[in-house]
Amino acid sequence: MNRYLNESGPSAEPWTKNADGIFDRWKADGKEATASVKFSSAKCFQRGCLVTATYSDFGKYQSGSQSLAESDVFQNWPGTKYRSPAEVLKDGTVNVMWVLFRPAEK
């Protein structure tokens, strides 16, 4: 996925400005599921924006991932959304990539 996005080249088009905001607004909701996840800054490309999420453990990944996926702010993204499979690290933290694909042209 990372390669697919990178190959399209960087983008700073207006639609990319909302990508970081999706994750920031979800965290600002203050739900318990938001407490143990850290998001990278969005890296935006012509095909979409990529954010890496690091959860403190697998249980927090499951609850946080579900909470984000079901949130209004995430559901209202006008393009396709994707979450990579979980990568459990040796220290027990869990990394996933969230991708917000470029919205379709109107």
Predicted confidence band at 106 (pLDDT cuts at 50, 70, 90)? low
All structural domains of the chain:
2-101 (3.30.70)
Predicted confidence band at 24 (pLDDT cuts at 50, 70, 90)? confident
What is the pTM (predicted TM-score) of this model?
0.88
Summary count for the chain: helices (H), strands (E): 4, 6
Are the C-beta atoms of residues 78 and 85 closer than 8 Å to each other? no
Residue 33 has pLDDT above 70, yes or no: no
